[in-house]
Chain A
Amino acid sequence: MKTRIKIQTAPFDLGPELEEMSQGAGALATFTGHVRGEDGIETLMLEHYPGMAEREIARHIDDAARRWPLLGVTVIHRVGELKPGERIVLVAVAASHRREAFAACEFLMDHLKTTAAFWKQEQRGTETRWVEAKASDDNAAKRWK
């Protein structure tokens, strides 16, 4: 299985990322998260724990590969300063069939949300606020147990 984990400040294009990893796969499922512009958010600052963030994502990819037969997984997560509409995260899973691709994509996203070492801070004008973790995200991850 081909695995790619990238944490970067630069924006990413979907085309080249997905093109390469889906070669020869019967199915490709992707999730892309974007910065919402709601409530007057002007900037989203993303901070991470270098080293731990990558390790945690790698651990969940290993778990997913034990549950489903996968051909490739790519996870890209941006950090630094993002504006509304920009892509924050990509989880892409290549497999032979759609069912395992969909399931693994959702599994990875649920676990990334609840355990990967990233933190978001919203900025509105001169006001900043750290985003609080949501119980609904914890519950989403728990259903895979």
Chain B
Amino acid sequence: MAHKPKIALYWCSSCGGCEESVVDLAEDILAVAEAAEIVFWPVALDAKYDDVARLDDGAITATLINGAIRLDEHVSMARLLRKKSRLLFAHGSCAHLGGVVGLGNFFTNEEILNRVYCDVPTVNNPDRVLPRPETRQGTTVLKLTGLHDMVRSLHQVVDVDYTIPGCPPPPALVKEAVMMVLEDRLPPKGSIVADTRALCYTCPRKETRPEMLEVPSFKRVYEIEWDPEQCFLNQGVVCMGPVTRGGCMAQCIQANMPCRGCFGPVDNVRDQGAKSASLLASLMESTDEEQLKKIVETIPDPGGLFYRYSLASSIMKGRVRRRP
């Protein structure tokens, strides 16, 4: 029993979908539990932070961290788990790229807090009470962990060995990553446990893509009834397949939905959003400036759409700040 490899799972700023991807291993999770000891998994097991701190450095064989980094607590846990683990996996889009929570970088903390705690129609907060790092009540001082002024991916905070992309990652990839550790067949450090090429290579609809794609206007999925056999881009529906890493078994496409880009950029691409812009620009069927503007207007929120998963790890990382 003593030599069983130890595995830990932790979540930072995430929705819980990545935990779900582990639970979705179904019976396979028993095989994992058989071969390895899960020492820390706040969602499913009762273990305290101190239990982790008491472990020797490098005692955990592999740790999977999902979620983006936006609180002091996330940073300290990421650093602690890094110290205690031989291998660290960024698990899911948020840890990999910043994910959907990374879109918070388009706003200031003030805007986000006011929106969430005061201005949402279902919130009743007439005194505009916001969470603060420190609250005094009589003699007691209540403390909350600090909120960072930007969302970061795991890579931007600690050294990451491998990445399991996806929002959430398909259970098959999670299983592959865990088996890779258990069977000791590790790829080079920094590898992403997925394809190296774009999704289009494995897309079941790739045969229907015409030689020359030209789009007179972009359509959102509720605006048309699209052909379930045809290439999405050919029908004017924005599909991120050409600029997104494959390896997801084209699950969304098979469910008749276009790719949203959760697997992040392919190798050699730094900024998935900018590349998406480049892709869609090249498809626009016009060379007249006014006409092009009209086509661009059919994309209501280009920044949010192109950077849906990758804003925090993009070149700009978010909204610019004004110098004081």
* A and B: interacting chains: no
Point out residues on A near B: beta carbons under 8 Å. Answer: none
